[in-house]
Structure 1
């Protein structure tokens, strides 16, 4: 692979379905393209530590999903997986329509698996960190309710989001403390970094997350939805599925979803939860570099 000196990222923009979407380009043009896709309610800068290491050998590109970071918000709250897959497709074309490697977390992983299924000829390798969506057990529990009740619950949820509005904090430090309560396995340094780059001040002296709070209501397409196993079967490239040993997420090797992938392996990372790439970054990078090699 081509190797160049590592510098900071450049902010760039592309357009998809009427939105101006932001991404970070870590340089090394001409090297193989590696796209890092963040999870829900996050932003591109959460990947900085890992992107800096990978950019010596790859052209690392890190998008802000629609409604997140420095990307446009979608009027009307169009934030379903199906809304975001065309955005990833537009980014790949904007980068020169070359084959890409995808590394994606949670919501980003779900988007990446859909893209790899729809465009298998454009994806060389796919690493998904806890990004296959709801487990079979969770889907079964959900569907104990009739579809009508599920849809009504979703309508109530989005109306509540409209009325409640976004959360605010008196300072970045207060937001970081709240983030650490939610995920105590994060380092304080990383929590503060994520908040510093993921928030903006308001006119009343408060701080709010850059993401559109309506992202939390993007569940209508999930009402009584089927498992996307037919899409997973269409993925042709090697796949690495990574899970934290202490996560709430269901391991696909244990719940049966692994059988739907033609060329996949599952790796479990000890002393890590849903954000395993942040909880155990050195171990994550060791597994990822082995897979990419």
Structure 2
């Protein structure tokens, strides 16, 4: 198994960090995995490794302002900026990928394909559609803004995550948590994303269901919506509405919350492999 860290150039020349996962000598196609807001590319490691083992070339990317990618000097984190980055990445890949997008990553891919049809070979939306539940959005934002002064220790950060997601068991080791945190000059731990990111994502003009609904109507590629049955972001009603907008889409509902890949990665990856094999290939 080969894992190689690489760099892309996004819009405005921004440096974007990524990993390429592949099994040498095998190439069933290209899958690009985009994480959700406030996450990093490492949230896809297990899925990318599994795809590579079966012959897919999998790419995981830190979006602008997240993880090891550059922060936007002007604090530009609108949907237009994220879609421009995606167009630039696809051009550098030199092939149409299947994009798997969680939350923000899914919105980005939905808008990119709908507003420039034919950019992608397939689309997988992980608990995100054109319309999201306001209570779920508010809960996520409260968590993301809940520690403006960071954490004194990794244990404090783990406590915050446990309070946000009490249904998930606390990890025995906190080493993996470091991938989602950065150490400040003051010695405290901060989430690994630019705080200015939240100001742009709150702009309803960019993320309006009307805009994303128009984009959805233009999608004609194989599309899979993976919805968490316990999610407060995507409801059964918004999922049904999305399926009406995208005739090429089908839905899989799994026993999980909004963070599907973290709640049940094995089940998610099984459904993803089935989609890649039967719907896209």
TM-based fold match above 0.5: yes
**Secondary structure, counterpart of 1:61 in structure 2:** strand
Matches within 5 A, 1:1-293: 6-28=1-23, 31=27, 32-56=29-53, 57-96=55-94, 98-135=95-132, 138=134, 166-189=148-171, 192=174, 194-219=176-201, 221-223=203-205, 225-227=208-210, 228-249=212-233, 250-252=235-237, 256-270=241-255, 272-293=256-277
Whole-angstrom CA distance in 2 between matches of 1:53 and 1:25 = 13
Whole-angstrom CA distance in 2 between matches of 1:75 and 1:191 = 35
The answer to whether the 8 Å contact 2:8/2:92 transfers is no
**Secondary structure, counterpart of 1:274 in structure 2:** coil
What are structure 2's unaligned runs of at least 5 residues? 136-140
For residues 118 and 193 of structure 1, do their structure 2 counterparts lie closer, same or farther at Cα, with a shift above 3 Å needed? farther
What is the aligned-residue RMSD (CA, Å)? 2.7
TM superposition score normalised by structure 1: 0.81
The answer to whether the 8 Å contact 1:108/1:131 transfers is no
What corresponds to 2:138 in structure 1?
none
**Secondary structure, counterpart of 1:188 in structure 2:** coil
Cα deviations across residues 192-238 of structure 1 (Å, max 9, x unaligned)?
A: 35521121212222111220011111146414945222211111111
Whole-angstrom CA distance in 2 between matches of 1:221 and 1:194 = 32
Give the count of matched residue pairs: 264
Indicate the structure whose relative CO is greater, using CA pairs within 8 Å and at least 6 residues apart. 2
**Secondary structure, counterpart of 2:268 in structure 1:** helix
The answer to whether the 8 Å contact 1:176/1:191 transfers is no
What are structure 1's unaligned runs of at least 5 residues? 1-5, 140-156
Whole-angstrom CA distance in 2 between matches of 1:105 and 1:15 = 19
For residues 254 and 236 of structure 1, do their structure 2 counterparts lie closer, same or farther at Cα, with a shift above 3 Å needed? closer
For residues 226 and 132 of structure 1, do their structure 2 counterparts lie closer, same or farther at Cα, with a shift above 3 Å needed? closer
Whole-angstrom CA distance in 2 between matches of 1:251 and 1:194 = 33
Bigger Rg, which one: 1
> How far did 1:242 drift?
1.0
Whole-angstrom CA distance in 2 between matches of 1:69 and 1:91 = 17
**Secondary structure, counterpart of 2:272 in structure 1:** helix
For residues 127 and 226 of structure 1, do their structure 2 counterparts lie closer, same or farther at Cα, with a shift above 3 Å needed? closer
Whole-angstrom CA distance in 2 between matches of 1:190 and 1:244 = 25
The answer to whether the 8 Å contact 1:12/1:25 transfers is no
Cα deviations across residues 87-138 of structure 1 (Å, max 9, x unaligned)?
A: 0111111112x12111110010000111222343232211101222434x75
The answer to whether the 8 Å contact 1:128/1:242 transfers is yes
